[in-house]
Structure 1
Amino acid sequence: MSKNQLKTFNNIPLSVLDLAPIAEGSDASQSFKESVELAQHVERWGFNRFWLAEHHNMPGIASSATSVLISHIAGKTNHIRVGSGGVMLPNHATLVIAEQFGTLESLFPGRIDLGLGRAPGSDQATAYALRRTLNMGPNDFPMQVNELQDYFAKEPVSRVKAVPGQGLDIPIWLLGSSDFSARLAAQKGLYFSFASHFAPAYTIPALKLYRDNFQASETLQKPYAMVGVNVIAAETDEKARYLASSHQLQFLNIRKGLATKLQPPIDNIDEVWSPMERAAVEQSLDPRTTIIGSPDTVKRGLEAFQEATEADEMIISSQIYHLEDRLRSYEIVAELMD
């Protein structure tokens, strides 16, 4: 499939957010092999971009060295855009990220996205282990974004140059689950991606804030918003609900403070969680942004969410235990595309 064979759903592109899950009984090496296979399949099926997210100290997610994994995936694919969804900028020296993504863009020209988050992607102890100091935090995020943009400029203000990095056109996305990054992306005229797949209640207000306050820039003349969606698709609603129990267990264990790998699906999750725990999980995995079901159910859910958000693009996460079921879920979504 060539570059110009990108497919769309209701005239917007669909992309993939891969959390590089480590399944119970498996390891990071196997996770990376499965991420490569997934990326190669979704590239053939016409998805637009393949993003990986930075998490730390989480036994069920293997993408902690996000830039390294992006390089691995880009090297095993041909044209799909590969990027971060996102790099947690407060964890890093800005120059290092500029050099890493300058290197990636030099290796894979025109294929790299730099999505930035302001959360640590970890707990405080892990954040300290990453930084050796907690003096730099989320409130410094706007300053760091300014620094990154300067490192990528053709004529940087800083005496320190990012090599490679300087003068390269690397799209910067601001990621958010609240109004902070929506406001900053609007102010700076940048691409915006909202984490509606785990913060559904704030989706519409954040998108409205971004669009209402958007200021055109050299990067972007009009707002461009992407929203996250969980999709667990299977041949029947019943099978999809069964597969979705792995994702629900992941959120339940996080709520309980349990660090676990991705668990296999179970027949009846109501035997595992209390009514209060179920309500808490479903608050994050809202049916509007966690779409579980057959092809018809998924189609209706995606159409309804796009209509509600007027999103320019949707990025889909599918936390499914078995690779073959994960591939089939994305294949079903691809079959709904033009």
Structure 2
Amino acid sequence: MFRKSLQAVNLTDAIEKSPGVRVSNECSMCGVKRIMLNGMRGEHSTILTDGVPLHTMMAGYYAVDALATTGVSRIEVARGAGASLLAPEAIGGTINVISKEVEETGLNINASMEDNDSYFLGMMGGYVSDDERTRTSLVIQDDKHHQMDNDNNGVSDAPLQENTSYVVRLSHDLGERDNVVLRTAYTDSSIFGGPQGYSIDSVLQGYDGVESDHLFVDDDVRQQYIGKPWETTEWISTTRSEISPSWLHEFSESYNTLFTVAWSEHKQDSFYEGFDYIATDTLNYFDLRNNLILNDQHMLTFGVDLRDESMRSDSVAGEESDNYIEDSFGCSGLILPDTSLR
């Protein structure tokens, strides 16, 4: 399914009204969202960038709203287990974010602002060489969404979110049959929910580890919050770095080979009402794919891919607790052959 221009600020806004897609807001203070396809849980959906599974399962919890829509040509939603060809865990389906190909040299800027200090700024600059063999683009997107406290009880119903993304893409034709593409991206996202009128620095400085006897007047969440700021604070700082080079060689009009290597690193530093958590999730991906067009209705794809992912986490509060279970892991998978007929 193809999603055309919807003036969406982020990925979840762009796909939430698509058939079979549900975007679940699972926390009013930490802003975690899960993208569910065909009713399957969020971990069974995989986000692809130009067909490459750069996003890990951990990345599906936070910073989903930080995925820039500036510089995106379209978003393809494939529901069902058939999409698991590229990502075996994606039995619910995949969401493929396709980058916009630069057609001419120029600069495009889109900006908006609201009275409550929320804003959006998207910029895409493109360059095309005189011989049209080299195409380069730079995408910058910066947006902010303020805290919301609709019931005026002193605790946010929606968190403060600040997102900044940078994407650089270079495409160069080596000859009539060869094309190389290099894409690199960096994302910085911060979510802060909980008490009104505080910064994360002031909350952390006031942390004492001693819980209040009462959090709300008369222990009623509809009344004013009277607890300590840190007792309702949920703060998640996320950074993502990505790099993905690929080489396409056409042997003939009906047969080509695509070689792709990718790396991504997802870092999280967070504070959940007194519980600290830091984690680094690293993904390495290798794909060698052959495409053979049999006729107008059928194409055969075969090849091999390798995916290696590891996540390491740490928590000072967790180490002091008897109930804490460390969630660090490492896994890799080799799929041979990778064959489909469609």
TM superposition score category, shorter chain reference: under 0.3
The answer to which structure has the higher strand fraction is 2
Rg larger in 1 or in 2? 2
The answer to which structure has the higher helix fraction is 1
